Chain A
Amino acid sequence: MNSRATVGEMLRQHGVSRRGFVKFCTATVTAMALPPWLGAAMAEQLSKGPRPSVIYLSFQECTGCFESFMRSFSPTIEHLIFDVISLDYDDTLMAASGDASESAMATAMKDNFGNYILIVDGSIPTGASGACCTAGGRSAEATLREAAKGARVILAVGTCSAFGGIPFANPNPTHAWPVSGIVGDKPIVNVSGCPPIPEVITGTLLQFVTTGQIPDLDEYRRPKAFFGNSIHDRCYRRPFFDAGQFAKTFDDEGARNGWCLYELGCKGPTTYNACATLKWNGGTSFPIESGHGCLGCSEPNFWDKGSFYEAQSTAMWGREGESQRKPLAEFAGAAIAAGAVLGVASAGAGRLRQHEREKK
């Protein structure tokens, strides 16, 4: 494809009317709680400009984030993002391989130095001198550091690149780090989730492409537009939480009636993402709606925080999934015994003193 054609030309080539594109952009800005008039401006801007260069690097990942990025059920629009941007390097999609692909990346970086958007998914291992993840003989860490130099902004897509994700979980055998653990001198936007919702990725990307500005971020550097509210605050099952109606098992009456999944370990109250509003598969459903509690996958350390099937207010003791009763009974028994020893000692000392006084 002609990489120097404008986006508008590309879209018209694909039969997307200007009106259709404006509608898409308006929907996107609305989802990001930006003013609707920006939609038209976004469409205008995007149509006119050359396609910005995007380099997509994948490290220790499962490719789920990329698959999510790719997923689209509406036939053309999300897919067309690839025509809005110039995806100059992506090891999953690109046809070239080996040296050819590496030189493609080097060329893109050189040509667009300081301007390209760097998207990263997967965590970056530093263990075994970086041997855990290499491409073309270079470690992930070295590749990232090199690529970061000329990036205008880094989008850490997925919980692995944003927070370390599953590789980062105890015992972290590959000494994995998130992007923010390797790169310190470039603006990073974390688009976390395991994987993130497709529209969240594209929306964040689009906003940056359009406005050149990094959106408002929360304390974990995630766009507030998508990560500003907890699942709990937007969950359709919230009335059941408020009414105190909880499913206790996955197949009880409560579960069948769609009651709140808090007691089955739903992390909704402490998870910030757009799952409850945007949902997945073009708004079809999300885990809670399908009857399984939120795992909290867009939060740091979600794996190590555990208690996937126990309510968040429960004690974290003993082994996951087991009743706390046995470890508590043993522990309490030991504590009571210790207290008894001290109590007997103290009363014994008292009695001894009385005995001494009486002897006198």
Chain B
Amino acid sequence: MNDVTIDAESRTSQVTAAMKGFAHEIGALSAFRLESCIHCGMCADACHYYIATEDPQYTPIWKVEPFKQAYKREASAFAPVFRWFGFKPAVTAEQLAQWQHLLFDSCNLCGRCSLICPIGIDVAALIEQARHAMFDAGLAPEELYRKAEHQQRTGQPEASLEPYREQLRGIGEQFGIPLPIDANEVEVMLCVPRTDIEHYPAAVAALGLVMQHLGVSHTFRSDALVAENYGYYAGGKEWQRAISLRLIEQAIACHAKVLLIPECGHAYTALRWEAADLYGKELPFKVMAVTEYLALALAEGRLRLGKADIGSVSFQDPCQLDRKGGVTEAPRTLMKAMGLDLREMENNRSFSFCCGGGGGVVDIERAAPLRYRTMEIKLREIDATDGGTFLTGCSDCRHSFDDAKRHFDWDKTPQSLLELVAKSLAPPRAAL
């Protein structure tokens, strides 16, 4: 229960149970990672939260410090010795509460720390796992918890005046693009970032338009429209599974060969890499990011792109797609095909800095001031590229940059790469 009103004693026992749970659930890989850290502090030098604030508490491995302690105390080889001699005290509720800020407000799960560790520890993966324990301890941030609970129950993170299905139909009508819903026997199942439904309907239309151009059978499924997984953000593993299972079941139901992930980084991580493990076996369909899919279609000649006459551009690689997901060249292939003059940022591709909004951070209100500080790094790099148009590959990144635009009075407006592709589709070849 994420109830903030529960008394101290219940909170203590909840925390104890959660930490024990964490320690006892830990597998060989995570244990190995926790064992290997030599406290060199290099991970801090990769993290935009540390770089922006020079505050050592944002050192990535420090974020999992209570969990290292719990592991050593409860589950490591010498755990009995640690306990008997009191070498590692039990983690207290107060201590863990302080860590909520570190694990949720100041981490986007961007994985830059995992790239720098000289021992090769995947620090971001440890933070992700620590979030599970925080959730069990009732310490997931309110906003994420509420949205996760709502989404696992209803399919939408939040109630809306009009259900998303109706909003989707509306977008189709507005842009004059057919957006099939609940068709069966399709090649590709689509889903959509709810950020797009709410803020960037043109991106949804772009998706439909591109699929129409490809001539591939596709559909949305009303029971699983949303790409984001708030269970994943909140650290609620069971809810993450429930939310992913919606999409999986719908994809199976319509016999889709491909589940297409739209412009949303964390959705890709949740579905491409984590869903199968939650499902328990290999998924009976492929999971592909839209840029991946389109780059493939381009190579096969099914996607025909004309030149986009907009001059120079800069591009924000979504961390989950690029650094953590292996989708680096696909967007560049598409940009090249459109004849774009891409000006790479100083830290680009897999070393790109996070937009600051991922991992649920953009939903946490109290995290905003800190988020803005980290975005300064990003905005400076984008400005330094002298790219005219600023493109993103993820609608949450886009939303985060729009927020920054308002806050900093920034002169650039983030655009969607997919929308640009949709605008640059070449007319179909005349039949021979």
Contacts and interface: CB of A to CB of B under 8 A. Distances in A.
A287 interface: no
Contacts of B75: 350
Contacts of B339: none
B25 A357 contact: yes
B258 to A, nearest CB: 34
Interface in A304-360: 342-343, 346-347, 350, 353-354, 357
B21 interface: yes
B79 interface: yes
Contacts of B21: 357
B24 A354 contact: yes
Contacts of A347: 77
Interface in B61-80: 75-77, 79
B21 to A, nearest CB: 7
Contacts of B76: 346
Contact of A346 (B24, B25, B26, B77): B77
A296 to B, nearest CB: 42
A353 to B, nearest CB: 5
A343 B26 CA distance: 16
Interface residues of B, number: 8
Interface string A141-163: 00000000000000000000000
A274 B75 CA distance: 61
A357 B76 CA distance: 18
Interface string B13-28: 0000000010011100
Interface in B182-228: none
A354 B30 CA distance: 15
A347 B77 CA distance: 7
Contacts of A353: 24
Most chain B C-beta atoms within 10 Å of own C-beta, residue among A343, A347, A350, A357: A350
Contacts of A354: 24-25
A343 B24 contact: no
Nearest to A345: B77
A357 B79 CA distance: 19
A122 to B, nearest CB: 55
A123 to B, nearest CB: 49
B24 A357 contact: yes
A256 B79 CA distance: 58
Contacts of A342: 77
Contacts of A350: 24, 26, 75
A353 B23 CA distance: 10
Contacts of A357: 21, 24-25
Contacts of B25: 354, 357
A273 B163 CA distance: 99
Interface string B394-410: 00000000000000000
Nearest to B76: A346
Q: Which 4 A-B pairs have the closest CB atoms?
A: A346-B77, A353-B24, A350-B75, A354-B24
Given A347-B77, A357-B24, 6 more contacts: A346-B76, A346-B79, A350-B24, A350-B26, A353-B24, A357-B25
15 contacts: A342-B77, A343-B77, A346-B76, A346-B77, A346-B79, A347-B77, A350-B24, A350-B26, A350-B75, A353-B24, A354-B24, A354-B25, A357-B21, A357-B24, A357-B25
